[in-house]
């Protein structure tokens, strides 16, 4: 049957080319038109594959070259050619080879006074010009001059033809050679004049598409430096700005507004960031590295051109097939074991980190049933850990034991029971409206009630703001010894009093221990202050927070305000109010501006510039010893007014997209809220968007490479209290000191009769901070040979996190993992009894401490150093790899190695690896990829710390499921699982089925990230720059074919052409 169809089509095409009978040709064209007007594009592509494009082009050439071209044939032929050519990527090349390009251009010239004939010629030219090289060829042959004869000032006649001409011209101007030709011939001024004329007369917005076509011509010309220069000289920015300033909300003007904004963004003069250097404000002497002069940003002339010298690219080539470079395509390329990258004798040092393999556990025999919590024997180095006996000396307002019991109760509740309820507390429908204050029932006075309903004492009475240094209170010093000021000593007393009267118990947190640990934390600039939220602690909100519903148009308003600064700078303050680069104090507490601060652990804010009264440009610091990786921010802000929208623009972000474009919000911590009993980081902000701005890194600062672009994250915040002190962060902060505090408290909290918990130091970092290594497993039942043998032969699981400092969510997941593994949950108990967990919870402590986003103090991404790490420059990676080597050398290679990360552009929880097949091949594992399924219950949520910690616990459940489903799972483990989980087997089965069904039947619209509502970039290839979709042109061609001319396209004599273009 297919052969018959093919032969029938080929007969039609052959007859079309060979026949000279008008009736036969029209019949064939009608049959082909009817055939291609129904069904899908598959028919058109099939016809193309059988030489359909060539047949139509040849018929066009033959018909046009007759003494009197027959337009009864040419018009349906042009319509069919346009329809087919839109799907044929090589139509331009074919038209050139068959001389149809020149023929169509000649026909267009002959029909300047005949609207319908000219319209059809323009449709064909538009299709041919879709190839940039063919567009350049048409430009050489005078196509642009022809089009400017068609594109007249405002008229209500021949508007379809004028629209088609503007669209063809826009396509031609994608060619850089045509763009340069347009600049040299003064077309920029002409196009601006034409746009103004149509805009001023088309008050009913009837001909928006013609105006859009003219703007697209300007957009493509302004992609060239010479085009931008002429555009700016012709006052193009001012003209287009005034065009749309009063119609941003007019839906009918949408096609015009979107292109105007792209042109304005593209032509906004590029400039360096307002920083003295592209390097970090912090410097650290790396061993063996010679210090060099930091690169400075240079004037605009140094910026690389956007492509004037680029060769025209031919877009008619076949779609390139993406090569699958995954090694799984060739298993023969895989290497089962990498070679040792160090002397074998070096591995002996890691025996001290695996004492569980040699420890005799004599106390199990000598002190049967004895108290293993003896502080003297086990914790003589942990005297800062709070105990029930010592809680009074810290004057807690709640008993520490009850606090611990509250947390323990939450941990003890079975994870599988939680799964069985399918997290029924998650309500995706509870969308919070943008702009609504996230704090519920908050009053701006100083009285309130905590979350339990207890009355809170008067805050202002405690603080007496007129007498106390508010910065010293809300960003306390680590020790009064840092200053001899009486004022500082008094502030410490106030802090101590606040801790006694206002502190809400935060599980696994102790402010006094945190302060003690902070004194031992080494930073590049020797931080003297600690952030209030880190000392005070964080309690997760009681409800989940859905993704913020973003309104369309937010981005364009912010961009419009950026452009207004350039064109109407009269109201711009442009005052630097905070800078790490300036040695003198910049902030005046009496001035009408916010106060900023970031010199504390994990803090990152380099500079703050007051733009307008309630708007600030912020710049974050690049990673230490680097000129890039700026994304993470964490800073203190104070001196605000309540119920006033403040706009913050972080103008030097570097990633090309962000989850801030898809409903994620920054996090905020209010000190006054914490003192009212709500110590909580919450998601906040509205009018959030993330987009490419006009700042560039100079080629000199980039080491000769093309200067990179920067992006702006902008958001508005309405603070809950007057004169509050708040902290804003990219994500929930989790400092190195918080980790060290947590590990000590966690060690103190475990039941040492059941849990083997040991802290070691993997190594010292470049900055002189110990990198902790944690070992967790179950204690042996006794020190008998049988029990010790079982203990020492448990397989290892290795888990690491936070190699990238800016991915603080990884630490919260790790926190959940650690707390779950030491809990009394039956899954945790089973995991401990069958595995030894080696955990490195923070692979990059120095980066975390100093507010880096991605690198260590050496300025290197540690996650790219695993192949050949240096013991001096990347010690944590070197020794983590050494530990893995050691385990492998003694025949104890871990069954699982997992590194926790965050991701700035992806949602939910997912796995990365070399490849699934390679990973399973390396592990000699038979588990198929179908086991890796998504739990869709997190969709639609902004992850809070509660959800992140839950993910850490769920990860542990996943480890158990992985082991139970593996072929190597022992009968003993299966038996233990059956015994311990017998009451939960139904929940376990339900969980597996739920994940499978959820993954298999998820709605298609949830499978992929929805498109951003507005363009992040403004390049000529952006998605909003499609000069009419296939369906739109198809519709216009179909309408033209289905009805006769109704008079709109009136023919004009040569003497009736529009007035001349100035």
Q: Please give the Cα distance from 342 to 881 (Å, whole number).
A: 10
CB 97 within 8 A of CB 316: no
Neighbours of 441 (CB within 10 A): 7
Strands (E), 720-780: 725-729, 755-764, 770-778
Nearest-5° Cα angle at 182, 556 to 266: 20
The closest of 796, 891, 886, 888 to 837, measured between CA atoms, is 796
Q: Which of 396, 509, 408 is closest to 737 using CA atoms?
A: 509
Start-to-end Cα distance in the chain: 62
Q: Considering Cα of 438, then 439, then 442, then 446, what sign does the dihedral take?
A: negative
d(CA 209, CA 100): 28
Q: Give me the pLDDT at residue 932, please.
A: 58
Q: Is residue 675 packed enough to be buried (19+ CB in 10 Å), middle (13-18) or exposed (0-12)?
A: buried
Task: Give the whole-angstrom CA distance, residue 174 versus residue 189.
Answer: 18
Residue-level pLDDT at 1014: 74
> Strand 645-653's sheet: what is its strand order?
575-579, 607-612, 615-619, 645-653, 709-718, 686-696
Is 380 exposed, middle or buried (CB count within 10 Å of its CB: 0-12, 13-18, 19+)? Answer: exposed
DSSP letter string, 334-398: --SSPPP-S-GGGGGGGGGG-GGGT---THHHHSTT--TT-HHHH-TT-TTS--TTTGGGGT-SS
CB distance 572 to 546 below 8 Å: no
Task: Determine contact, residues 71/107, Cβ cutoff 8 Å.
Answer: no
Q: Are strands 941-942 and 615-619 parallel, antiparallel or unpaired?
A: unpaired
Closest CA to 773 of 338, 343, 355, 347: 355
pTM over 0.75: yes
Strand order of the β-sheet with 770-778 is 755-764, 770-778, 836-840, 796-801, 896-900
- Helix axis angle for 945-965 and 826-834, nearest 10°, is 50
804, 902 contact by CB (below 8 A):
yes
Going by the DSSP 8-state scheme, the letter that residue 61 receives in this structure is H
Query: Of 676, 718, 684, 741, nearest to 530 (Cα)?
Result: 741
Rounded average pLDDT per 10-residue block, the chain, 1062 residues: 63 88 90 83 90 93 92 92 91 93 94 93 93 92 95 94 95 95 96 95 94 96 95 96 88 92 94 93 85 52 47 43 41 62 93 92 55 35 30 36 45 52 41 46 44 48 44 60 46 70 83 93 92 94 88 88 93 94 69 92 97 97 93 96 96 93 95 93 96 85 69 97 96 98 96 95 97 97 89 95 97 97 93 96 98 96 94 96 96 93 83 66 55 70 93 92 81 76 54 45 44 67 48 73 50 37 36
Q: How far apart are CA 780 and CA 755, in angstroms?
A: 9
Return the pLDDT at 552.
82
List beta partners, residue 648.
Answer: 616, 715
Cα separation, 191 vs 173, whole angstroms: 12
Give the H or E element holding residue 25.
helix 22-37
Residue ranges of alpha helices (H) inside 40-99 are 42-49, 52-64, 71-85, 91-97
DSSP secondary structure letters along 485-521: -HHHHHHHHHHHHHHHHHPPP-TT--HHHHHHHHHH-
The burial of 900, by beta-carbon neighbours within 10 Å (0-12 exposed, 13-18 middle, 19 or more buried), is given as buried
């Amino acid at each position: 049957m297919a052969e018959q169809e093919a032969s029938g089509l080929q007969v039609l095409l052959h007859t079309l080319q060979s026949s000279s009978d008008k009736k036969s040709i029209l019949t064939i064209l009608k049959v082909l038109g009817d055939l291609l007007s129904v069904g899908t594009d598959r028919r058109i592509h099939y016809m193309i594959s059988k030489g359909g494009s060539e047949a139509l082009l040849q018929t066009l050439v033959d018909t046009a070259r007759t003494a009197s071209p027959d337009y009864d044939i040419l018009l349906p032929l042009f319509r069919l050619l346009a329809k087919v050519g839109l799907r044929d990527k090589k139509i331009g090349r074919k038209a050139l080879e068959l001389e149809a390009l020149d023929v169509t251009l000649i026909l267009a010239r002959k029909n300047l006074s005949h609207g319908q004939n000219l319209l059809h010629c323009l449709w064909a030219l538009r299709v041919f010009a879709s190839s940039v090289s063919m567009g350049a060829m048409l430009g050489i042959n005078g196509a642009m001059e022809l089009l400017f004869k068609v594109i007249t000032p405002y008229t209500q006649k021949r508007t379809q033809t004028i629209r088609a001409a503007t669209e063809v011209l826009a396509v031609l101007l994608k060619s850089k050679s045509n763009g340069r030709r347009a600049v040299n011939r003064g077309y920029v001024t002409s196009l601006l004049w034409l746009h103004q004329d149509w805009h001023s007369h088309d008050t009913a917005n009837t001909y928006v598409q013609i105006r859009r076509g003219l703007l697209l011509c300007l957009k493509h010309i302004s992609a060239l430096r010479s085009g931008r220069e002429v555009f700016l000289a012709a006052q193009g920015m001012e003209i287009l700005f005034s065009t749309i300033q009063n119609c941003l909300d007019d839906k009918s003007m949408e096609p015009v507004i979107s292109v105007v904004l792209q042109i304005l963004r593209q032509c906004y003069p590029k400039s360096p960031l307002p920083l003295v250097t592209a390097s970090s404000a912090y410097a650290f002497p790396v061993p063996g590295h010679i210090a060099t002069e930091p690169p400075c940003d240079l004037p605009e002339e140094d910026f690389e051109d956007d492509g004037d010298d680029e060769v025209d690219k031919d877009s008619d080539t076949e779609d390139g097939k993406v090569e699958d470079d995954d090694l799984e395509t060739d298993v023969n390329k895989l290497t089962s074991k990498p070679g040792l990258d160090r002397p074998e004798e070096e591995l002996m040092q890691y025996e001290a980190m695996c004492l569980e393999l040699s420890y005799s556990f004599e106390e199990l025999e000598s002190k049967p049933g004895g108290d293993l919590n003896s502080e003297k024997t086990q914790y003589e180095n942990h005297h800062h850990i709070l105990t029930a006996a010592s809680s009074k000396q810290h004057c807690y307002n709640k008993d520490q034991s009850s606090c611990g019991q509250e947390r323990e109760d939450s941990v003890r509740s079975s994870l599988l029971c939680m799964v069985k309820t399918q997290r029924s507390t998650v309500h995706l429908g509870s969308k919070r409206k943008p702009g609504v204050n996230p704090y519920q029932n908050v009053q701006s006075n100083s009285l309130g009630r905590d979350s339990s309903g207890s009355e809170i004492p008067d805050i202002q009475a405690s603080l007496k703001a007129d007498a106390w240094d508010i910065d010293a209170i809300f960003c306390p010093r680590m020790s009064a010894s840092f200053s001899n000021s009486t004022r500082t000593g008094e502030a410490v007393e106030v802090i101590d009093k606040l801790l006694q009267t206002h502190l809400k118990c935060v599980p696994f947190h102790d402010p006094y221990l945190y302060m003690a640990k902070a004194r031992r934390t080494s930073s590049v600039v020797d931080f003297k202050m600690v952030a209030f939220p880190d000392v005070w602690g964080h309690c997760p909100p009681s409800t989940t927070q859905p993704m913020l519903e973003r309104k369309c148009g937010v981005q364009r308003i912010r961009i419009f305000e950026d452009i207004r600064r350039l064109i109407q700078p009269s109201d711009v303050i442009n005052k630097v109010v905070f800078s790490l680069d300036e040695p003198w104090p910049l902030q005046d507490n009496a001035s009408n501006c916010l106060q900023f601060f970031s010199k504390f652990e994990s803090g990152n804010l380099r500079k703050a510039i007051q733009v307008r009264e309630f708007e600030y440009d912020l710049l974050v610091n690049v990673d230490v010893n680097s000129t890039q990786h700026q994304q993470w921010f964490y800073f203190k802000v104070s001196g605000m007014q309540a119920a006033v929208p403040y706009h913050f623009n972080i103008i030097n972000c570097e990633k090309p997209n962000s989850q801030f474009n898809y409903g994620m919000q920054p996090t905020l911590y209010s000190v006054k809220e914490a003192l009212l009993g709500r110590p909580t980081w919450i998601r906040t902000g509205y009018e959030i968007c993330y987009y490419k701005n006009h700042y560039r890194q100079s080629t000199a600062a980039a080491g000769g490479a093309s200067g990179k672009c920067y992006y702006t994250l902008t958001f508005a915040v309405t603070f809950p209290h007057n004169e509050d002190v708040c902290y804003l962060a990219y994500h929930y902060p989790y400092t190195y000191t918080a980790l060290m505090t947590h590990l000590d408290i966690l060690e103190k909290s475990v039941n040492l009769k059941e849990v083997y918990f040991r802290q070691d130091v993997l190594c010292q970092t470049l900055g002189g901070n110990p990198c902790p290594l944690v070992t967790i497993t179950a204690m042996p039942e006794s020190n008998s040979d049988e029990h010790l043998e079982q203990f020492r032969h448990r397989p290892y699981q290795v888990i690491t996190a936070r190699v990238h400092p800016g991915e603080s969510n990884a630490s919260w997941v790790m926190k959940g993992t650690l707390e779950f593994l030491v809990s009394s949950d039956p899954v945790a108990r089973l995991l401990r009894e069958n595995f030894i967990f080696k955990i490195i919870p923070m692979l990059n402590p120095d980066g975390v401490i100093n507010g880096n986003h991605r690198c260590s103090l050496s300025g290197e991404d540690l996650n790219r150093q695993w192949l050949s790490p240096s013991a001096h420059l990347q010690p944590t990676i070197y020794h983590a790899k050494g530990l893995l080597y050691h385990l492998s050398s003694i025949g104890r290679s871990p069954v699982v190695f997992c590194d926790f990360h965050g991701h700035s552009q992806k949602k939910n929880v997912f796995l990365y690896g070399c490849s699934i097949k390679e990973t399973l091949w390396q592990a000699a594992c038979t588990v198929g990829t179908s086991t890796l399924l998504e739990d869709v219950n997190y969709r639609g949520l902004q992850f809070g710390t509660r959800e992140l910690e839950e993910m850490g616990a769920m990860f542990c459940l996943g480890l158990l499921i992985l082991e139970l489903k593996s072929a190597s799972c022992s009968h003993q483990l299966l038996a233990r699982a059956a015994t311990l989980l017998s009451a939960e087997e139904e929940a376990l089965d339900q969980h597996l089925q739920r994940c499978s069904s959820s993954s298999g039947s998820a709605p298609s619209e949830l499978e992929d990230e929805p498109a951003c509502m507005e363009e992040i970039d403004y390049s000529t290839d952006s998605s909003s720059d499609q000069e009419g979709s296939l369906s739109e042109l198809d519709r216009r061609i179909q309408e033209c074919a289905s009805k006769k001319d109704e008079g709109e396209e009136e023919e004009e004599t040569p003497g009736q052409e529009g007035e001349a273009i100035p």
